[in-house]
Amino acid sequence: MMTSLIGILSLVSTLTATSSALSCTKCESETSTCSGDRITCPSETMCGTAYLQGLVEGIRIQKLHRGCQPLSECGISGTISIKEGRFGIGSSCCSTDDCTPTLPTFPTKSSNPNGVICPSCAPAQSTSCDASDTVQCTGDENMCFLQTTEGLASAMRGCATKSFCDLSRQFYNNGGSSSNVKMICTNGGISAHKVVLTPAILCLLLLKLFL
């Protein structure tokens, strides 16, 4: 299960890529705060915070990354749910030297089913995700996702908001990820049979959002 979360966690470090005027703190941690060295950011960026928070099988997971963030990637958030838990990921920015962006917040999970049912799995040590289980999507999580991480041999499937899917595609397609993460989203279910991804398909997944 934990290897399946690596893609999610690396997403946080991709959102805040250091790329001129603004001086910002660069740091990361597994809590809601961090401190580190100052860096000089390029034009068209701001001081940004990318934050992921989740609860999986009773275990709370956090990942925070601060650095330079493109304007187009400020003030965005999304959520995903799997049978074992839920993740929220978001970004916030500020525009003065050495400022500290506010911690992104996520919407409360809705208990109202939206009619979408997605395959759900998070196998350990495998990019084969056998969709024998399903999860009933709620609220704004009206898309099904499949996330894989090449090299770490992990996969995850469940429900996602459109904003989370759009965010993932944007970052994975803009330069790749050291974890080779891939995120695929569909409006219905990703066909409910065993999905085995080849290395050619495995190139994008969830933590590339925050470097």
Cβ-in-10-Å burial (0-12, 13-18, 19+) of 169 comes to: middle
Coil, helix or strand at residue 22: coil
Structure tokens at 68: 């330079």
Domain range annotation of the chain: 3-94, 113-209
Whether 202 and 5 have beta carbons less than 8 Å apart is answered as no
CA dihedral sign of residues 6, 90, 80, 181: negative
Question: Is 113-209 in the same CATH topology as 3-94?
Answer: yes
pLDDT tens per residue, range 3-29:
555 455 555 555 555 445 799 999 999
According to the model, what pLDDT value does residue 45 have?
Answer: 92
According to the model, what pLDDT value does residue 59 have?
Answer: 86
Rounded to the nearest integer, the mean pLDDT of the chain is: 75
Return the top range by mean pLDDT from 11-25, 73-87, 120-134: 73-87
Cβ-in-10-Å burial (0-12, 13-18, 19+) of 133 comes to: middle
- In whole angstroms, what is the distance from residue 193 CA to residue 117 CA? 14
| Domain 3-94 = CATH 3.40.109 | no
- Is the pLDDT at 61 greater than 80? The verdict is yes
According to the model, what pLDDT value does residue 165 have?
Answer: 84
Pairing of strands 23-29, 37-40: antiparallel
According to the model, what pLDDT value does residue 115 have?
Answer: 93
| Domain 113-209 = CATH 3.30.910.10 | no
Cβ-in-10-Å burial (0-12, 13-18, 19+) of 125 comes to: exposed
**87 confidence band (pLDDT: 50, 70, 90):** confident
Overall pTM > 0.85: no
